[in-house]
A and B are shown apart, each in its own frame.
Chain A
Amino acid sequence: MKQLVRMFLLVFIVSFALMYVVSLLNSTQGYSGKNTLTIYNWGDYIDPDLIKQFEKESGIKVIYQTFDSNEAMMTKIAQGGTTFDVAIPSEYAISKMKEENLLLPLDHTKLPNLKYINPRFMDLSFDKKNTYSIPYFWGTVGIVYNPDMLHGKKPTSWNDLWDESLRNQILLVDGAREVIGMGLNSLHYSLNDTDEAHLQEAKRKLSTLTPNVKAIVGDEIKMLLANEEAAVGVVWSGDASEIMKENEKLDYVVPEEGSNLWFDNMVIPKTAKNLEGAHQFINFMLNPEHAAQNAEYVGYSTPNEKALEYLPEEIAGDERFYPDPEVTKKLEVYENLGKRMLSHYNELFLEFKMHKK
């Protein structure tokens, strides 16, 4: 009994002591102040130096919080228990958030730097006139491959993945739209196809790919490909550039049948408290020099046309990540297919995963 009491007392004392230390540390960080701005972003998706610079210039203390999926982010914002002033969702999430009234319209007069964005990336189907969102980064879905492990072969199309020599060599990203879209694209259908016959055809075609698929994985795909666990991977271009930074042997190609064009965008969610600061921050990130610095740090493609001038030629001139309009014409942005269709896509994807070799 004595022993029990002693232990529990110790636990409580230690806990309260630690809480005190935390509050001390928090106050040195200035998190208790009033003029704060909470940014809700993917992990490590901004150059931390830019945040420091913004804090210095504006006098606003930035709190950086991260999410790991659009859905998790939406759940949190819809719940409303927390303050987020700026969030960075992907384009398909934006149409959903619009439907559910989770976004506040942007005041374009407070965003003079908006003029630097390439008009090609403005006024897109998911957010006409950019009422709610400003593009942050963009990219494609494509194939990363290891020329050494393929003995000189170079995949250029989705259909090349069905080649018998790739047995057990392909890693796929764990995304229903990406994988089903790949099946649809390989049959020359649209990524946004909702025709049941086409979808079934794509599913059947995908199930013949199973012997070639080594695994369907999440973010670890980057590490696995860089470590040469597999010769080929289907990934987002942003991930591809990170992988290629790790392992310079690898190469990236956007398949010729067409593929997906994606955007991550800055928005102000309805939970925002510091509207003034949020606009200030978005405008700060639109500044070409800052956009270039950020693109260099993150390694994704910036939609900021002027920023390209500040980027080294080997980045800005890289056709794989800044493809010319000829290629981008074949790319499609994911449309919001509605919850029911999305659920159907997921069920097809589930069936594909359960299809045994």
Chain B
Amino acid sequence: MKRNGKLSNIYLFIVFIILYAPIFYLMYYSFNSGGSMHDFEGFTLEWYKEVFHDTRLLIIVLNTFVIALLSAAISTILGVLGALAIMYVRRRQVKNTLLTLNNVLIVSPDVIIGASFLILFTIIGIKLGFASVLLSHIAFSVPIVVIMVLPKLQEMSPTLIDAARDLGASRWDVLSKVILPFITPGIFAGFFMALTYSLDDFAVTFFVTGNGFSTLSVEIYSRARQGISLSVNALSTLLFLFTIVLVIGYYFINQKGSRSKGMGVRK
């Protein structure tokens, strides 16, 4: 048993090493005075200075966060409603149709989503820029939230809801006191996946953006034409450290909070 524990730790360790290897590689070269991700010549902070002097880049970073956070939050709400809707549908055929439609956007290549959204926005008459990017990010994040939340909902035994109803709970009570607490882990997973999708997306944003609005991935792609500047590495390093601190901080604050309240809110 002991030996097993050691082996499993080694396994996890290797997985984490590989997951983080390219990121450490990027971080390492962000200090390279040589100017390329090849041949480390000497230590410098020049690239970090460049980042802070580039107001346009900073605006783009903030825009990226705003879009990611807002689209993840809104698509999580929509996705949870969608998962509830699918769960409440009794007929299997309707259920399967909804699920298939749900997954169309996950399978469709970004280029097609981008191109068809562009046509769509043109028809509806939405000006390209913040609104169109936000709408598309919400649109393509909804299905992943549904997929993350639905299994949780299906695990919930229907008798639980019936019991609550029998005990006189209102519709809202059932939702807020029974269903939502139960599926909270799924909702969080969905939110984080949506955030990931939004931060990662290039192709869709590329099509539907305009009027000076840009997100980080679009900016990086257009800058990549001349080889990636190390200031982009520096920026990624900063963002990465920032999110790590945020995630760990959030986690421990949350833990403390829930511990002090005892078993009230689990997870």
Q: What residues on B are CB-neighbors of A11 within 8 Å? A: 69-70, 72-73
How many whole Å from B6's CB to the nearest CB in chain A?
36
In the assembled complex, the Cα of A83 lies from the Cα of B187 at a distance in Å of 40
A223 lies within 8 A of B227 (CB): yes
Given A25-B62, A28-B55, A242-B226, residue A4 in contact with residue B180 (CB < 8 A): yes
Contact of B265 among A3, A25, A67, A242 (CB under 8 A): A3
A22 lies within 8 A of B223 (CB): no
Q: What residues on A are CB-neighbors of B108 within 8 Å? A: none
Decide if the interface of chain A is mainly helix, strand, loop or mixed: helix
- Greatest chain A CB density within 10 A among B37, B62, B127, B258 is at B62
Residue of B nearest to A63 (CB): B212
How many whole Å from A284's CB to the nearest CB in chain B?
21
How many whole Å from B150's CB to the nearest CB in chain A?
17
How many whole Å from B223's CB to the nearest CB in chain A?
5
In the assembled complex, the Cα of A31 lies from the Cα of B176 at a distance in Å of 45
A25 lies within 8 A of B58 (CB): yes
How many whole Å from B204's CB to the nearest CB in chain A?
13
A19 at the interface (CB under 8 A from B): yes
CB under 8 Å from chain A, chain B span 192-207 = 206-207
A3 lies within 8 A of B59 (CB): no
A22 lies within 8 A of B118 (CB): no
A79 at the interface (CB under 8 A from B): yes
B28 at the interface (CB under 8 A from A): no
Determine the interface band of chain B, counting residues with CB < 8 A from chain A: 35 or more
Interface locus among A37-45, A104-112, A150-158: A37-45
Q: What residues on A are CB-neighbors of B184 within 8 Å? A: 3-4
B127 lies within 8 A of A43 (CB): no
A201 at the interface (CB under 8 A from B): no
CB under 8 Å from chain B, chain A span 5-35 = 7-8, 11-12, 14-15, 18-19, 21-22, 25-26, 28-29, 31
A interface size (C-beta, 8 A): 44
Contact of B66 among A2, A15, A28, A66 (CB under 8 A): A15
Contact of B212 among A8, A31, A44 (CB under 8 A): A31
In the assembled complex, the Cα of A25 lies from the Cα of B222 at a distance in Å of 22
CB under 8 Å from chain A, chain B span 40-87 = 55-56, 58-59, 62-63, 65-66, 69-70, 72-73, 76-77
Given A3-B184, A29-B55, residue A43 in contact with residue B66 (CB < 8 A): no
In the assembled complex, the Cα of A26 lies from the Cα of B69 at a distance in Å of 20
Q: What residues on B are CB-neighbors of A76 within 8 Å? A: 210
Residue of A nearest to B210 (CB): A82
A208 at the interface (CB under 8 A from B): no
Given A3-B265, A19-B66, A22-B62, residue A44 in contact with residue B177 (CB < 8 A): no
Q: What residues on B are CB-neighbors of A227 within 8 Å? A: 38
B135 at the interface (CB under 8 A from A): no
How many whole Å from B237's CB to the nearest CB in chain A?
20
B212 lies within 8 A of A219 (CB): no
Q: A12-B70, A43-B224 are in contact. List 14 more A-B contacts (CB 8 A).
A: A1-B181, A7-B191, A18-B66, A19-B66, A22-B59, A22-B62, A29-B56, A44-B226, A68-B224, A68-B225, A76-B210, A79-B128, A219-B224, A219-B225
Q: Which residues of B contact A (CB under 8 A)?
A: 36-38, 55-56, 58-59, 62-63, 65-66, 69-70, 72-73, 76-77, 115, 118, 121-122, 127-129, 176-177, 180-181, 184, 187, 191, 206-207, 210-212, 214, 221-227, 254, 258, 265
Q: Which residues of A contact B (CB under 8 A)?
A: 1-4, 7-8, 11-12, 14-15, 18-19, 21-22, 25-26, 28-29, 31, 38, 42-45, 63, 65-68, 72, 75-76, 79-83, 219, 222-223, 226-227, 242, 246
Q: 9 nearest interchain CB pairs?
A: A82-B210, A66-B222, A81-B128, A43-B222, A43-B225, A44-B226, A11-B73, A15-B69, A18-B66
18 A-B interface contacts by CB (under 8 A): A1-B181, A14-B69, A18-B69, A22-B63, A25-B58, A29-B56, A42-B222, A45-B225, A68-B225, A75-B115, A79-B128, A81-B121, A81-B128, A81-B211, A222-B227, A223-B37, A227-B38, A242-B227
